[in-house]
Amino acid sequence: MGLRCGIVGLPNVGKSTLFNAISSAKAESANYPFCTIEPNVGVVTVPDERLQILEELVHPERVLPTIVEFVDIAGLVKGASKGEGLGNKFLANIREVDAIIHVIRCFDDPNIVHVAGGVDPVFDKDVIDTELQIKDLESVDKKIQKVERTAKAGDAKAKKELASLLKFKENLTAGKNARSLEASEEDLEAIDDLKLLTIKPVIYAANVDEASINSGNKFVDALKEHVKDENAEVVVISAAIEAQIAEIEDPDDKQMFLEEYGLTESGLNKLIRASYSILNLITYFTAGVKEVRAWTIEKGWKAPAAAGVIHTDFEKGFIRAEVIKLKDYQEYKSEAKIKEAGKMAVEGKEYVVQDGDIMHFRFNV
């Protein structure tokens, strides 16, 4: 399963600078270079040092990291829900993403005009939220009209569904995002087909100037305070620094550049890690002489479902999974020696895959 993140933000907040930096980023593996699927979609590899360790141990023909797609969602401005800007064009893109990265301006620069007349991260957040809430309210209202007729006719299932929909309507009408509602499984089932925009997990990318990259500033503090009750993450980045990083090809030069700013990793890497965290994703690996490869799954998945990510036949005909831990691979150096030492676990259908597992699936179809 590929991860797809939509980047949104008001004009002059640094969204385009960040997306262009991401789009120019050199992939970690020559076997999976950066590519552009569409003008507004960029694909980058997920950095994972465990792949490098496996490559040194296995010496495969190729290494394939897992990937993240970043979608630059244009047209999301104040009034977009009523046709302003690019109007509804952004909806098709944003409905298909797994998570939203909301770029918010947290820097002051008299040379870059802010749409509100002054830097106000809370204003920025609320403008975008309002546009998405209006669209969600339209979707919920339409479904309520349909379900209401069946519920009034006495259908028990429709009555329950209507009750759930009304909860979301009340929440959205109060200016709250759908994800803020304490919803039951039954409630979530009622809106599952609507693909609500404000139900999606969100990461706030606080775009700061270079001087604030490590310590933050008053704008970041205001944003964090405003979103503290949301199930959201705030990642402090500098789009200006990311643009410079994107131009550096040599890994050592890139590391030296980061160290000059007191950074251990790029903002892009931080966004990827935050995306995995908020979506509850983990990585497992397959390793052989043909290829070493990373696979993304949801935390809690059992072995057959994880195998199905490689091919549906693996899940249908699942027999067992042979599992190696990375530390054992590092200690014993080869699969044969790992087997001899009794460190290869044989797991059945109920095995819950762990982050970092190296797996080989046996199946029969």
Kindly state whether residue 289 falls inside one of the protein's structural domains.
no
Q: Are residues 109 and 223 located together in one domain of the fold?
A: yes
Residues 6+ apart with CB under 8 A from 259: none
Q: Is the pLDDT of residue 112 over 80?
A: no
- What does the H/E/C string look like for the chain? CCEEEEEECCCCCCHHHHHHHHHHCCCCCCCCCCEEEECCEEEEECCCHHHHHHHHHHCCCEEECCEEEEEECCCCCCCHHHCCCCCCHHHHHHHCCCEEEEEEECCCCCCCCCCCCCCCHHHHHHHHHHHHHHHHHHHHHHHHHHHHHHHHCCCHHHHHHHHHHHHHHHHHHCCCCHHHCCCCHHHHHHHHHHCCHHHCCEEEEEECCHHHCCCCCHHHHHHHHHCCCCCEEEEEECHHHHHHHHCCCCHHHHHHHHHHCCCCCCHHHHHHHHHHHHCCEEEEEEECCCEEEEEEEECCCEHHHHHHHHCHHHHHCEEEEEEECHHHHHHHCCHHHHHHCCCCEEECCCCECCCCCEEEEEECC
- Asked whether residue 89 falls in the same domain as residue 194, the answer is no
Q: Pick from 278, 309, 325: which residue ends a domain?
A: 278
12-26, 90-104, 198-212, 263-277: which range is least confident on average? 12-26
Residue bearing the bigger pLDDT, 38 or 360: 360
Would 324 be classed as within a structural domain? yes
Mean pLDDT, range 52-76, rounded to an integer: 90
Shared-domain flag, residues 177 and 206:
no
Is the residue at 88 inside a domain?
Answer: yes
pLDDT tens figures, 220-260 = 999 999 998 887 899 999 999 999 998 998 989 999 999 99
**Number of folded domains in the chain?**
3
Instruction: Tell whether 16 and 101 lie within a shared domain.
Output: yes
Flag the least confident range among 89-98, 188-197, 297-306.
Answer: 89-98
Taking 60 as the threshold, does the pLDDT of residue 262 lie above it? yes
Residue 157 pLDDT level (bands cut at 50, 70, 90): very high
Q: Are 29 and 108 contained in the same domain? A: yes
Are residues 194 and 217 located together in one domain of the fold? Answer: no
The values of phi and psi at residue 361, to 5°, are -100, 135
- The pLDDT, as a whole number, for residue 282 is 97
Distance CA 185, CA 235 (A): 29
Domain co-membership, 79 together with 222: yes
Q: How many CB atoms lie within 10 A of CB 247?
A: 12
Tens digits of residue pLDDT in 309-343 = 999 999 999 999 999 999 999 999 999 999 999 99
325 shares a domain with 215: no
Residue 197 pLDDT greater than 50, yes or no: yes
Same domain, yes or no: 265 and 149: no
pLDDT value, residue 22: 84
pLDDT the model gives residue 86: 47
Query: What per-residue confidence (pLDDT) applies to 165?
Result: 97
Residue 186 lies in a domain: yes
Structure tokens that stand for 357 in this block: 């597992």
- Is pLDDT at 113 greater than 90 in this prediction? no
- Rounded mean pLDDT, 196-216: 95
Residue 58: inside a domain: no
Amino acid 228: pLDDT: 87
CB atoms within 10 A of CB 311: 13
pLDDT of res. 27: 37
Q: Binding site membership: which residues? A: 12-17
Q: Is residue 156 part of a domain?
A: yes
Tell me: pLDDT of 115 over 70: no
What secondary structure, in 3-state letters, does 171-187 show?
A: HHHCCCCHHHCCCCHHH
Of 151, 168, 198, the last residue of a domain is 198
Rg of the chain taking only CA atoms, in angstroms = 23
Q: Residues comprising the binding site for ATP?
A: 12-17
Residue 313 within a domain = yes
Q: From 78, 74, 123, 80, select the one nearest 94 (Cα to Cα).
A: 74
Whole-number pLDDT of residue 29: 33
The reply to whether 166 and 146 lie within a common domain is: yes
Same domain, 209 and 337: no
Over residues 64-84, the mean pLDDT reads 75
Q: Mean pLDDT, to the nearest integer, of 194-222? A: 95
Check whether residue 135 and residue 270 sit in a common domain: no
Considering the chain, what is the average pLDDT of its residues? Answer: 89
Instruction: Give the CA distances from residue 55 to residues 66, 90, 117, in Å, rounded to whole numbers and listed in that order.
Output: 15, 40, 52
Instruction: Give the model's pLDDT for residue 39.
Output: 55
For the chain, what percent of residues have pLDDT higher than 90?
A: 72
> Tell me, what CATH number does 98's domain have?
3.40.50.300
Show which of 198, 222, 256 is a domain's final residue: 198
Question: Percent of the chain at pLDDT above 70?
Answer: 90
State which residues form the domain around 346: 300-363
Other CB atoms within 10 A of residue 33 CB = 12
Angle of CA points 20, 23, 24, to nearest 5°: 90
At 1-47, the pLDDT tens digits run: 678 999 998 888 888 889 888 877 543 333 333 444 455 888 888 98
Q: Kindly state whether residue 307 falls inside one of the protein's structural domains.
A: yes
**Distance separating alpha carbons of residues 337 and 251, to the nearest angstrom:** 33
